[in-house]
């Protein structure tokens, strides 16, 4: 349907363009506009034509598309004329970009096919132990849980009791009431950046500066006119301490994978190089003055 619409839009243009239709046998594509020696072909435009346009919108799109294409070609021609002395440099940059594009695409394809992406816990632990001096914390970490709820809740005392408990069944019971919380975080086995905690619980930053309340195994209850906040700090790791393996594990895994990538690429390059020398596809010629 849309191709028929486009055909009628172009018919007037094609009639006025008949003098250009004596194309070479190898290129019989129809074109709809010409700027100097550059041609805009119909199939290029049809490919970019959005689907489900009305006839009026199609006409507007086609006119705009052709005009923008023409402006681009005119600017390009002007630039080529005025920067002719830079042409060789730009040609070199284009060649280098093309070469890099091909090489990088090939590398990515090889990596996707050949790279071993399985990293075991043993490999992570081994790398961490050998390089742990590189994994010092640059900010404090905490293990904690917290909930915030409105002061108008009926079962406030129950929330406090369940929250203070270390029993799994009490935590499960607390989770069943999560819809009554303003916000919550109950996984106190995970290390979190203290700076991220401050973003979620802003009052904690101020209180910590005043009285150093961020301490291991500390309970905090904070109230205002509308809400109650319960916080339990299970553990704290200060800045410059060795990062815990559970926290640094994703980073170590990425380091191991990156190392494997580099080794794989080096192996590929060396293999290509050696094969080329053996097959005399690569030779170095002595200079005459040597």
Final residue in a domain of this structure, among 83, 110, 145: 83
d(CA 245, CA 239): 15
pTM listed for this prediction: 0.66
Contact between 153 and 159 (Cβ < 8 Å) = yes
63 with 143, same domain: the answer is no
Question: What is the phi/psi pair of residue 257, to 5°?
Answer: -65, -40
* Residues forming a β-bridge with 192: 142
Residues 6+ apart with CB under 8 A from 107: 265, 268
Q: How many alpha carbons fall within 13 Å on the CB side of residue 217?
A: 2
Final residue in a domain of this structure, among 64, 83, 102: 83
Could you tell me which of 195, 174, 185, 178 has the C-alpha nearest to residue 146? 185
d(CA 132, CA 183): 36
141 with 79, same domain: the answer is no
Domain of residue 165, CATH code: 3.10.50
d(CA 268, CA 250): 27
Q: Is residue 197 part of a domain?
A: yes
Beta strands in the chain (DSSP E): 31-35, 38-41, 141-150, 181-185, 192-193, 218-223, 227-237
Final residue in a domain of this structure, among 51, 68, 83: 83
Contact between 213 and 142 (Cβ < 8 Å) = no
In 10 A of CB 23, how many CB atoms? 12
Q: What's the number of domains the chain is made of?
A: 2
163 with 228, same domain: the answer is yes
For the chain (290 residues), the mean pLDDT of every run of 10, in chain order, is 41 44 57 90 88 88 92 91 84 93 93 94 95 91 92 87 90 90 90 90 73 76 88 92 94 96 94 90 75
Per-residue model confidence (pLDDT) at position 146: 93
Per-residue model confidence (pLDDT) at position 10: 46
Per-residue model confidence (pLDDT) at position 234: 93
- Structure tokens belonging to residue 52: 């489900």
Residues in the chain: 290
Planar angle of CA 178, 181, 186, nearest 5 degrees:
60
Per-residue CA distances from 242 to 215, 234, 249 (Å): 18, 18, 13
**Residue 21's domain spans which residues?**
2-83
Q: Is residue 186 part of a domain?
A: yes
Per-residue model confidence (pLDDT) at position 95: 94
Q: Is residue 119 part of a domain?
A: no
């Amino acid at each position: 349907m849309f191709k028929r619409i486009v055909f009628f839009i172009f018919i007037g243009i094609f009639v006025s363009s008949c003098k250009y239709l004596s194309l070479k046998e190898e290129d019989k594509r129809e074109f709809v506009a010409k700027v100097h020696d550059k041609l805009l072909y119909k199939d290029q435009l049809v490919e970019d034509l959005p689907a489900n346009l009305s006839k009026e919108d199609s006409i507007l799109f086609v006119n705009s598309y052709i005009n923008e294409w023409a402006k681009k070609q005119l600017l390009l021609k002007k630039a080529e004329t005025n920067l002719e002395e830079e042409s060789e440099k730009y040609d070199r940059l284009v060649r280098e970009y093309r070469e890099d594009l091909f090489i990088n695409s090939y590398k990515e394809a090889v990596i996707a096919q050949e790279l071993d992406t399985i990293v075991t816990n043993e490999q992570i632990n081994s790398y961490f132990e050998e390089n742990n001096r590189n994994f010092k914390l640059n900010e404090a970490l905490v293990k904690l849980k917290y909930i915030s709820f409105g002061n108008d809740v009926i079962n406030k005392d129950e929330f406090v009791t369940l929250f203070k408990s270390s029993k799994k069944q009490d935590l499960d019971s607390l989770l069943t009431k999560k819809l009554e919380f303003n916000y919550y975080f109950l996984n106190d086995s995970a290390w979190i950046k203290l700076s991220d905690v401050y973003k979620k619980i802003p009052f904690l930053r101020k209180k910590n500066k005043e009285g150093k309340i961020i301490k291991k195994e500390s309970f905090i209850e904070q109230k205002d006119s509308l809400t109650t906040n319960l916080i339990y700090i299970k553990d704290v790791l200060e800045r410059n301490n060795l990062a815990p393996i559970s926290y640094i594990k994703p980073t170590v895994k990425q380091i191991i994978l990156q190392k494997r990538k580099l080794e794989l690429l080096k192996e590929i390059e060396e293999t290509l190089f050696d094969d080329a020398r053996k097959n005399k596809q690569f030779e170095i010629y002595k200079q005459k003055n040597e």
